[in-house]
Amino acid sequence: TGMRVVYEIKREADANVVLNMLYKYTQLQSSFSVNNIALVKGRPVALNLKDMILHYVDHRHEVVIRRTKYDLAEAEKRAHILEGLLIAIDNLDEVIEIIRGSKTPDDARDGLVSRFSLSELQAKAILELRLQRLTGLERDKIKAEYEELMKQITYLKSILNDEVLRMQIIKDEVIDIKKKYGDERKSEIVYAGGELSMEDMIAAEDMVITISHLGYIKRTALRDYKRQNRGGKGSKGANSRDEDFIAQLFVANTHSYMLFFTQMGKCHWMRVYEIPEGNRTTKGRALQNVIQIDKDDQVKAYLAVKNLTDEEYLTKNFVFFCTQKGTIKKTALEAYSRPRQKGIIAINIEEGDTLLDAVLTDDECDVVLATKYGQAIRFHQHRVRSVGRNSTGVIGVRMDEPDDEVVGLVAIKDKDSTILVLSEKGYGKRSEIEDYRITNRGGKGVKTLNITDKTGRLVAILEVKQENDLMIITKNGILIRMAVDDIRSQGRATQGVRLIKISEKDEIASIAKIDKVEEEEEEGLIDGETTEITDVTEAPTNETESTETNPEENEDTE
């Protein structure tokens, strides 16, 4: 009928998602299978398009022949009757005389047959001839019908004798069908792309993902968080129990693949849109109900990966691991591209150690490790040989203090970036990357933050740029978002400035960077994409001043 329906969607809605939902849940799009099985000479055969056309033409050819033979037989039968009538008309007086002189119809029939050499059918037709057909006009009609019939018989015989003519008839008849029924199609037939997946139902949007210390996970739209100036008190990010706190924060697109790495060295997979959605103040859902992790295990790092099928991407990118005791390992991303429901071993963790972090890198970037006593070490990643999933790795940094541990791992992908460090009492600063000289792995590193009673121990390290925003969240769920360019660059051995006010009963839980964009005029909200996350562990209470030492080469084997 040409009727058109227009759907008006809300401003925040995604038109493609709405269209996909109409495809999936209405008759706007229907999927069906075509099974081209037909009887060919009595046998069922699966046909391709060429075979279908071939057998259809053969069928139509047979139809034309059988139809022509039938029409020819009927025409010849009629011509035979007309020939008898024409004989009777040409000898009308004698025919009337034979009929009048016969006692019975049978005698008249026999007389006509013997006199004019007619068949019984012809004689019978003459006897059944109405008197009005004997007029001059009716006699002319009989003659005209006979002449037209003879032309038809000649044409039908030519069809049976000429295959080219038969094929032309088939072609003409198909064209006639097209002219009669070939109106413009209202729908479109396309190759089936399979069932619409859940991904087609979800709009591509950046989400803030948080995981609490007790393992509750949720995702919230990044646009729900407003930017504040440094030194502010932040806003409430999540409600949690007294014994729980937000331990990890990440930002990723809803269509990304999520790789979860646990402290025991296992890897699990998930799609961002599969993570339960909530608002800023909800606690989320228990991670054990979302992915199958062991009861005594805990997620320590997770990566957003856009593609797990591109072979070049999988082989040229690596997952770089670091444990709290300073062990590092590099493994190709390809080793983690085949999801399993119960996860796989990502790194072999030695007894007494746990996984600290895992980052996605190429083989060109440098790596910086930082310890809670304020030491940092920088070395080339390509100096670390790529190994398999089940290997343990090698020593990345040495620590003198028995209670010292690694608090952060940074992969330097841009030499114009700066290193940002954060202490447990909310103090932080930025330093140029070149302030950290390149050494070999396994050394003790250099001082990255001047640790004092006012600053507390080091809890996080990030690579940031001027155009980044910084998000900090505390164990009580207080979250603050600020511009990185509000934090001035200082030397690496200074104690920095206060980034967030921490109450006596609160501590830093997590820190992340996001890309800064212009705020929306109406809502004052901003979107972004996390490029790195740092998980913060419990901070120590004792104070020990750290000194700068020279890194030492070591020959640990993998």
**Residue-by-residue pLDDT tens, the chain, 558 positions:** 456 778 888 876 667 778 878 877 788 877 777 888 988 888 999 999 999 999 999 999 999 999 999 999 999 999 999 999 999 988 989 999 999 999 999 999 999 999 999 999 999 999 998 888 888 888 889 999 999 999 999 999 999 999 999 999 999 999 999 999 888 877 777 776 666 666 666 777 888 888 776 778 888 888 776 656 666 656 555 555 545 656 667 788 888 888 889 999 999 988 888 888 888 778 888 887 888 888 888 888 878 887 788 888 898 899 999 999 999 999 999 999 888 878 899 999 999 899 999 999 887 888 999 999 989 999 998 888 899 888 888 999 999 888 889 999 998 887 778 899 998 888 888 888 888 888 888 888 888 888 888 888 899 998 888 888 888 888 887 888 888 888 888 877 777 888 888 888 888 878 877 766 433 333 333 333 333 445 564 433 333 333 333 333 333 333
DSSP string over 69-122: HHHHHHHHHHHHHHHHHHHHHHTHHHHHHHHHT-SSHHHHHHHHHHHHT--HHH
Q: Rounded CA gap, 551 and 510, in Å?
A: 29
Nearest partner of 391 among 335, 447, 315, judged by Cα: 335
The predicted model scores a pTM of 0.56
Contacts of 10-19 with CB under 8 Å at 24 or more apart are: 13/203, 14/203, 14/204, 16/203, 17/200, 17/201, 17/202, 17/203
Q: How far is CA 397 from CA 74, 369, 404, 412, 558, in A?
A: 104, 7, 11, 17, 15
pLDDT score at 12: 64
pLDDT score at 534: 56
Residue 88 backbone zone (phi > 0: left; psi -120 to 50: alpha; other: beta): alpha
Half-sphere exposure of 65 (CA within 13 A, CB side): 12
Q: Rounded CA gap, 469 and 481, in Å?
A: 7
Sign of the alpha-carbon torsion through 155, 160, 162, 165:
positive
Asked whether the beta carbons of 324 and 356 are under 8 A apart, the reply is yes
pLDDT score at 557: 35
Cβ neighbours of residue 103 closer than 8 Å, sequence gap 6 or more: none
Say which DSSP state 280 is in.
T
Q: Rounded CA gap, 412 and 516, in Å?
A: 19
